Amino acid sequence: MIGVTTLDEFIIDRQDDFPFATGDLSRLLRDIGFASKIVNREVNMAGLVDLAGAIGSENIQGEEQQKLDVLADEVFIKALKNGGEVCGIASEENDDFIAFENEKSKQGKYVLAMDPLDGSSNIDVNVSIGTIFSIFKRKSEVGTLATMDDFLQPGTEQVAAGYVLYGSSSMLVYTTGNGVNGFTLDPSIGEFCLSHPNMKTSESGKIYSMNEGNYHLSPQGIQTYLDSCKKEEKTARYIGSLVADFHRNLIKGGVYLYPSTTKAPNGKLRLLYECSPLAFIAEQAGGSASDGFQRTMEIKPTELHQRCAYYVGSKNMVADIEVLLK
């Protein structure tokens, strides 16, 4: 196409970035782009076709599932199973990982962990929501079924990660470890087009994002940090959709906080498909991510749905928080 670079063109152009690339990862990223266009369509129609609201079931983490949570989960699983590049998927919406049993998928070299729909509490009120994904090379032998060890890898082992934001316009942002690039969906042609090449975040920012209803439940260091944000007249911004809060802070500069609280001693957010992938993107954009004590990317998961405290964004702000938590 003249004048614009579509996601598919960009992925093909960049294929040489991966050593020994055979095109599988490129195809996988394109499948993700395709699935997210379908989810985007459904998200946009939610108010019209009875897709808003709860489905009446809970996921493994005791959270009420929304119709769109389940639909997004199914769309991604179907697209990726058909693609055959991943041998298995772990998802927020499924207790166990799925090991694809079809021959084509068993040949897949990768596994994917995902939060198919992030920010579900915002679906019914027309506020931005998202999808988060993380891709690893499998540990098990190609040709066999995916195993738990394929998924329980630290963020440093990710070969790609990204998110899709279904917002005032929809965007797909991803990294393969060579910087971060953002694509905006042009609905008139149904293509993600490169709109934010080589995204960088500032070392310090004006914005802090936390559910301050949790102030009194948070560690003393976090209370001190929030007090200092007010003294310094920083700007408070919190949507309650991690993808949207993260995306805004990435562009404008700022920090997102979800500490451990007395109610949720391990924090709320999930390491594998929320914290690790966004940590990879933050770092690739010049920011950082930590649980307050350790680099998020270095935490080795022991469970699929493991939670952790999370501080992510401009690196000086994350560093200030770490000092206060020591």
What one-character-per-residue DSSP string does 37-98 give? HHHHHHHHHTTTTT--SEEEEE-TTSPEEEHHHHHHHHHHHHHHHHH-SEEEEEETT-SS-E
Cβ–Cβ < 8 Å for 8, 33: yes
Task: Please tell me whether residue 245 binds Mn ion under the rule CB under 5 A.
Answer: no
Q: What are phi and psi of 33, to 5 degrees?
A: -60, -40
Pick from Mn ion, ligand AHG, none: which does 106 bind, CB < 5 to 8 A by kind? none
Whose Cβ is closer to Mn ion: residue 10's or residue 97's? 97
Tokens at residue 113, please? 């962990």
Minimum CB separation of residue 123 from ligand AHG in Å reads: 9
Whose Cβ is closer to ligand AHG: residue 72's or residue 111's? 72
Site residues (vs ligand AHG, CB under 6 A): 63, 92, 115, 118-120, 211, 240-242, 245, 268
Minimum CB separation of residue 119 from ligand AHG in Å reads: 4
Query: What Rg, from alpha-carbon coordinates, does the chain have?
Result: 19
Minimum CB separation of residue 179 from ligand AHG in Å reads: 25
Task: Please tell me whether residue 118 binds Mn ion under the rule CB under 5 A.
Answer: yes
Q: Biggest alpha carbon distance in the chain?
A: 60
Whose Cβ is closer to Mn ion: residue 115's or residue 291's? 115
Task: Please tell me whether residue 73 binds Mn ion under the rule CB under 5 A.
Answer: no
Whose Cβ is closer to Mn ion: residue 60's or residue 142's? 60
Pick from ligand AHG, Mn ion, none: which does 211 bind, CB < 5 to 8 A by kind? ligand AHG
Whose Cβ is closer to ligand AHG: residue 110's or residue 310's? 310
Q: Which of 92, 150, 283, 320 binds Mn ion (CB under 5 A)?
A: 92
Sheet with 207-209, edge to edge strand ranges: 235-236, 207-209, 254-258, 310-313, 288-290
Q: Which of 85, 115, 191, 245 binds Mn ion (CB under 5 A)?
A: 115
Which helix H or strand E contains 325, and what residues bound it? Answer: helix 315-325
Query: Where does residue 62 fall: left (phi above 0), alpha (psi -120 to 50 degrees), or beta otherwise?
Result: left
Residues that bind Mn ion (CB under 5 A): 92, 115, 117-118
